[in-house]
Amino acid sequence: GVIVCPITSGDTAFRSARLVLADWFKVDQNKMQKRLMLCVPLLAVGAFVGHLDYAIVWRYFSWTNQTLAMIVLWTASMYLFPDTLLQKNYWITAVPATFMSAVSMTYFFCAEECLGLSTKVAYPVGIILAAAFLGIFIHATKKPMKA
């Protein structure tokens, strides 16, 4: 499993990337030449990334993963909001979304690979932005819903 899992995960990632690019650029994938046209540049990018310092790559990955979680939580909150008549509690996702917003924004302002500001600036700015996101959410939920 130690050998097979990374290989299959990488294979799946490259295949998914190829299919996404094929869909974006409307490239038919029935012929091998068309597949290679997308695979070779992708593998070149993979070879380049494979030689980078993984500590840096991992920091970017972890930040984007947390930011994705933040976006999904805000999206789920907006999805749950219209169903308050059905007793769906949208705060169960809005509270963690606010926390994740503070974490993601603070990291963005503090990390060396992003803006690299001091923690004296990054922490308050992250918290203020999280509060602003919560304010935007509350404002959006106060508007009358379109039928």
Is the pLDDT score of 75 beyond 90? yes
Instruction: Name the pTM for this structure.
Output: 0.66
CA distances from 101 to 41, 72, 133, 144 (A): 35, 11, 8, 25
Residue 2: predicted pLDDT: 47
Weakest-pLDDT range from 46-50, 74-78, 114-118, 135-139: 46-50
The stretch 67-85 carries a mean pLDDT of 85
d(CA 32, CA 120): 55
* pLDDT mean across residues, the chain: 85
The pLDDT score that the predictor gives to residue 133 is 97
Answer yes or no: are the C-beta atoms of 130 and 105 closer than 8 Å.
Answer: yes
Backbone angles phi, psi at 53, to 5 degrees: -70, 115
Residues for the chain: how many in total? 147
C-alpha distance from residue 96 to each of 10, 27, 66 (Å): 31, 40, 12
More confident residue, 121 or 53: 121
- Higher-pLDDT residue of 20 and 9 is 20
pLDDT at 145 over 80: no
